[in-house]
Amino acid sequence: MCTSALIKTLGVGRAAIGLAALLNPVGVGLFFGFAADARLQTAVRYIGCRDLMMGAGLIIAEQRGHGRGWLEAAMAVDVVDGLITCWGVREEVITEEKARTVLPIILGSLALGGLLVAQLARGGNGGNDATIARKRLEK
Protein backbone atom coordinates (compact mmCIF):
# COMPACT_ATOMS: atom_id res chain seq x y z
CA MET A 1 0.00 0.00 0.00
CA CYS A 2 1.45 3.40 -0.91
CA THR A 3 2.18 6.11 1.62
CA SER A 4 -0.72 8.26 0.43
CA ALA A 5 -3.22 5.44 0.92
CA LEU A 6 -1.86 4.74 4.42
CA ILE A 7 -2.18 8.42 5.37
CA LYS A 8 -5.78 8.42 4.17
CA THR A 9 -6.44 5.18 6.09
CA LEU A 10 -5.02 6.74 9.25
CA GLY A 11 -7.32 9.72 8.63
CA VAL A 12 -10.36 7.48 8.21
CA GLY A 13 -9.55 5.63 11.44
CA ARG A 14 -9.11 8.84 13.41
CA ALA A 15 -12.32 10.30 11.95
CA ALA A 16 -14.22 7.10 12.78
CA ILE A 17 -13.08 7.22 16.41
CA GLY A 18 -14.04 10.88 16.54
CA LEU A 19 -17.48 10.25 15.10
CA ALA A 20 -18.04 7.38 17.54
CA ALA A 21 -17.09 9.67 20.44
CA LEU A 22 -19.54 12.32 19.25
CA LEU A 23 -22.39 9.85 18.83
CA ASN A 24 -21.71 7.61 21.84
CA PRO A 25 -19.60 9.52 24.39
CA VAL A 26 -20.49 7.13 27.22
CA GLY A 27 -19.40 4.00 25.34
CA VAL A 28 -16.21 5.56 23.97
CA GLY A 29 -15.46 7.18 27.32
CA LEU A 30 -15.82 3.85 29.12
CA PHE A 31 -13.59 2.16 26.52
CA PHE A 32 -10.89 4.76 27.13
CA GLY A 33 -11.31 4.49 30.89
CA PHE A 34 -13.51 7.46 31.82
CA ALA A 35 -16.48 7.22 34.18
CA ALA A 36 -19.97 7.71 32.77
CA ASP A 37 -20.09 11.24 34.21
CA ALA A 38 -22.00 13.97 32.32
CA ARG A 39 -19.02 16.37 32.45
CA LEU A 40 -16.71 13.71 31.11
CA GLN A 41 -19.20 12.98 28.31
CA THR A 42 -18.81 16.58 27.21
CA ALA A 43 -15.01 16.23 27.27
CA VAL A 44 -15.24 13.00 25.25
CA ARG A 45 -17.37 14.85 22.68
CA TYR A 46 -14.72 17.60 22.46
CA ILE A 47 -12.05 14.97 21.88
CA GLY A 48 -14.32 13.27 19.34
CA CYS A 49 -14.78 16.52 17.45
CA ARG A 50 -11.01 17.06 17.47
CA ASP A 51 -10.33 13.58 16.12
CA LEU A 52 -13.07 13.82 13.51
CA MET A 53 -11.58 17.09 12.21
CA MET A 54 -7.99 15.77 12.39
CA GLY A 55 -9.02 12.72 10.39
CA ALA A 56 -10.91 14.76 7.81
CA GLY A 57 -7.98 17.16 7.57
CA LEU A 58 -5.56 14.29 6.96
CA ILE A 59 -7.73 12.89 4.20
CA ILE A 60 -8.37 16.22 2.46
CA ALA A 61 -4.77 17.43 2.77
CA GLU A 62 -3.40 14.17 1.40
CA GLN A 63 -5.83 14.28 -1.53
CA ARG A 64 -4.30 17.67 -2.33
CA GLY A 65 -0.79 16.28 -1.98
CA HIS A 66 -0.01 18.09 1.28
CA GLY A 67 -0.68 15.51 3.99
CA ARG A 68 2.63 15.75 5.82
CA GLY A 69 1.76 18.78 7.97
CA TRP A 70 -1.55 17.27 9.06
CA LEU A 71 0.21 13.97 9.72
CA GLU A 72 2.73 15.72 11.97
CA ALA A 73 -0.10 17.53 13.78
CA ALA A 74 -1.90 14.21 14.34
CA MET A 75 1.32 12.78 15.78
CA ALA A 76 1.58 15.73 18.19
CA VAL A 77 -1.99 15.02 19.31
CA ASP A 78 -1.06 11.37 19.85
CA VAL A 79 1.89 12.39 22.05
CA VAL A 80 -0.38 14.62 24.16
CA ASP A 81 -3.02 11.85 24.39
CA GLY A 82 -0.35 9.42 25.60
CA LEU A 83 0.91 11.87 28.22
CA ILE A 84 -2.63 12.59 29.41
CA THR A 85 -3.32 8.85 29.65
CA CYS A 86 -0.20 8.36 31.79
CA TRP A 87 -1.20 11.34 33.94
CA GLY A 88 -4.67 9.82 34.31
CA VAL A 89 -3.15 6.59 35.63
CA ARG A 90 -0.93 8.52 38.03
CA GLU A 91 -3.91 10.50 39.34
CA GLU A 92 -6.03 7.30 39.46
CA VAL A 93 -8.56 8.72 37.00
CA ILE A 94 -7.75 5.98 34.46
CA THR A 95 -7.03 2.42 35.52
CA GLU A 96 -3.80 0.72 34.53
CA GLU A 97 -5.89 -1.92 32.76
CA LYS A 98 -7.51 0.73 30.53
CA ALA A 99 -4.14 2.36 29.92
CA ARG A 100 -2.81 -1.01 28.70
CA THR A 101 -5.68 -1.03 26.19
CA VAL A 102 -5.41 2.61 25.11
CA LEU A 103 -1.65 3.20 24.99
CA PRO A 104 -0.96 0.58 22.28
CA ILE A 105 -3.57 2.29 20.07
CA ILE A 106 -1.94 5.67 20.64
CA LEU A 107 1.58 4.30 20.18
CA GLY A 108 0.57 2.38 17.04
CA SER A 109 -0.86 5.52 15.47
CA LEU A 110 2.25 7.47 16.47
CA ALA A 111 4.60 4.80 15.08
CA LEU A 112 2.73 4.58 11.78
CA GLY A 113 2.73 8.36 11.54
CA GLY A 114 6.48 8.43 12.13
CA LEU A 115 7.11 5.83 9.46
CA LEU A 116 4.95 7.75 6.98
CA VAL A 117 6.69 11.07 7.72
CA ALA A 118 10.05 9.36 7.21
CA GLN A 119 8.82 7.90 3.92
CA LEU A 120 7.65 11.35 2.78
CA ALA A 121 10.98 12.91 3.82
CA ARG A 122 12.82 10.37 1.65
CA GLY A 123 10.64 11.35 -1.28
CA GLY A 124 8.81 8.04 -1.25
CA ASN A 125 5.46 7.45 -2.88
CA GLY A 126 3.89 9.99 -0.58
CA GLY A 127 1.90 11.96 -3.07
CA ASN A 128 -1.50 11.00 -4.33
CA ASP A 129 -1.84 9.64 -7.86
CA ALA A 130 -2.53 13.09 -9.35
CA THR A 131 0.55 14.57 -7.67
CA ILE A 132 2.74 11.68 -8.80
CA ALA A 133 1.47 11.96 -12.38
CA ARG A 134 2.03 15.74 -12.41
CA LYS A 135 5.60 15.32 -11.13
CA ARG A 136 6.32 12.75 -13.84
CA LEU A 137 4.99 15.10 -16.53
CA GLU A 138 7.16 17.94 -15.24
CA LYS A 139 10.32 15.85 -15.77
Cβ neighbours, 10 Å, residue 90: 10
Please say if the pLDDT value at position 85 is more than 70.
Answer: yes
Q: The pTM is what? A: 0.81
What is the span of the domain harbouring residue 117?
3-138
Average pLDDT across the chain, whole number = 88
- Rounded to the nearest 10 degrees, how much is the dihedral formed by the CA atoms of 58, 64, 65, 71? -10
* Cα 82 to Cα 56: distance, rounded to the nearest angstrom: 21
Torsion of Cα atoms, 65 then 69 then 73 then 74, to 10°: 30
Secondary structure letter of residue 66 according to DSSP = -
* pLDDT tens digits for range 16-61: 999 999 999 999 988 887 777 788 889 999 999 999 999 999 999 9
Work out how many domains the chain is built from and give that number. 1
Dist CA 48 CA 28 (whole Å): 9
Mean pLDDT of 119-131: 66
> What integer is the mean pLDDT of 121-139?
61
